[in-house]
Structure 1
Amino acid sequence: MANASLMAATRGADWVDTAPNYAGGRAEMSLATALAAYPDLCVSTKVGFVPAGAGHIGVRAGALSAADAERGHCLTADYTAWQLARTKLMLGRTPDLVFVHNPEHTCPDGEITGRLYNTFLALEEACSQQIISAYGVATWRGFSSGLFDVPTLIELAAKAGGPNHHLWAIQLPVSLVHLAPVAQALDGHGPLADALTAGLEVFAAAPLHGGEIPGLVTPELSELINPGKAPAETALAVVASAPGVKRVLLSTGNPEHWGQAAEAVGRPPLSPDVLRRVVDVLGT
């Protein structure tokens, strides 16, 4: 991850996204070199999942129960505070943004609102102590399953932190496989449209669905969307053009792939008419 981040930074990237549990629990520490070399490079990380090998440390510190360590996910106030302090140490600096990582994970039915509120309280406290600068919610299925929506997140953040709360962003999958948020946004609703209205940043995750999408894009589909461009560029153009999307999270250590991806994301957006044709052809 460090080499990939350095490569991206040297080619103009201004943001890197990570999590304590990425790269077998080594992701944050490996980024410290890149962040030190490029102090203007912004970084977002996450809290929720217990990093590999850190569960017993959290238990010994009194921040994590043995049961939560076994489950591998925890959003209690004690664990959140402990993980944020550990994150700052690993990164060598204050993160610009911390996402609540899949708050729906192992959450009993009917308890997601309480879990989010209590976590927001802990994150607002961390912001007041300048341990972090802002927070958000990164979810794989929270929006798509109807467990919560952006207005609910805004309401909970205002309850936890007042009108000047620090909820700043959401992160969710947006791709040719996950087209529902795009279709909804074109009709003026859903998480992308709600985030745009609320002034929240949107980070589009898994835009190539783990590298599977380029192999699924037929020449006919590529010509429909983005004539003359490679499948990966075509797929990224759709994500980057979705209403409300501000950042597209790319994962590659290949300089050529990075350059192509950055060019695709940096082009003028596809028109709403083209996006609607994509939705009509592929469905949601």
Structure 2
Amino acid sequence: MDLGVTALDTAATYLGCRSHEVLRATAGDLVPRFALSTKVGYFEGGHSLAPARLRKAVEQAVMELGREPDVVLLHNPEHSQPDAEALAKACGVLTDAATGGLCESWGISTWDPRSLVDLAAPPPDVLMVRCGLLVGIDVLEAAEALVTGWRPRQVWGMSPFGGSTSEPVWEKFDPAMFLRRTSPASRVQATFRAAFALPVVEAVAVGTDNREHLRELVDSLELEVDDQVVREYRQLLRQAA
């Protein structure tokens, strides 16, 4: 919060299914001061889009967090390989949860959106997708197809570093080429800032275990992305595919 972070994102099954309880115990009375999103869909026995299980998971999240989440996301629905009817029913559970006051709004979080492109869904308030320089063109364009088809109010990104800032790939080139040359930036900052354009997202979720890492990322938000370089990069991705 001191760094300017105003939103927290978690999921029911993070931290061995203890994420909500740990967050509440750790943050205490600070929790209501953040916009809070969580995800449902994974259970100890695996993934499920069964309406009754999703409804119970939302209710349990409210109880564990001690407050209603601002957003509840359907967690990787592609994992259950739904047809249009199954996806619509699962979305309906979250729509009803929002209408009934169990959350402010609802959305869908998808790691691999390719199988969802041809499925209709009620317009989610939020769509969360992978973003950044390591996202393949097929996943990138599938995410953009969902934005066009589903028309979410907001689009969020996740995993901008492909899992870690220490991956060898980040030492093989200078991601600052994706920025307008207005001010110096570290490799981490340039990678993070470019992630907001691949695909275009309004917010990006990152880990919170390193305070200095967070500070570096927050400081990068004033940097400008070079849209022409992004377009050229996308063309290279298509050619490579």
Q: Quickly name the TM-score band, shorter chain normalised.
A: 0.7 to 0.9
Corresponding position of 1:230: 186
Q: Is 1:276 aligned to residue 231 of structure 2?
A: yes
Count of paired positions: 234
* AA aligned opposite 1:46: K
* AA aligned opposite 2:117: F
How far apart are the structure 1 equivalents of 2:223 and 2:207?
22
TM-score of the superposition, structure 1-length normalised?
0.73
Shift of the 232–124 alpha-carbon distance from structure 1 to 2, 3 Å rule, reads same
* AA aligned opposite 1:177: L
Q: 1:50 pairs with 43, 53, 66, which one?
A: 43
CA deviation string 1:20-79 (max 9, x = no partner): 11011111111114262242201110110014xxxxxxxxxxxxxxxxx3xx11121111
Corresponding position of 1:83: 57
Q: 1:147 pairs with 86, 92, 116, which one?
A: 116
Q: Is 1:24 aligned to residue 21 of structure 2?
A: no
* AA aligned opposite 1:127: A
Corresponding position of 1:175: 132
CA contact (8 A) 1:103 1:112 kept: no
CA contact (8 A) 1:174 1:181 kept: no
CA contact (8 A) 1:16 1:42 kept: yes
Q: 1:137 pairs with 108, 120, 130, which one?
A: 108
Q: Is 1:198 aligned to residue 163 of structure 2?
A: no
TM-score of the superposition, structure 2-length normalised?
0.85
Shift of the 35–238 alpha-carbon distance from structure 1 to 2, 3 Å rule, reads farther
Backbone CA RMSD of aligned residues: 2.7
How far apart are the structure 2 equivalents of 1:74 and 1:183?
25
CA contact (8 A) 1:183 1:276 kept: no
* Stretches of structure 1 lacking an aligned partner (at least 5 in a row): 1-8, 52-68, 159-166
Percent identity, aligned pairs only?
23
Q: Is 1:97 aligned to residue 71 of structure 2?
A: yes
Offset of residue 83 of structure 1: 0.6
* AA aligned opposite 2:79: H
Offset of residue 280 of structure 1: 4.7
* AA aligned opposite 1:148: V
Alignment partner of 2:194: what SS? helix
Offset of residue 190 of structure 1: 3.0
* AA aligned opposite 1:246: E
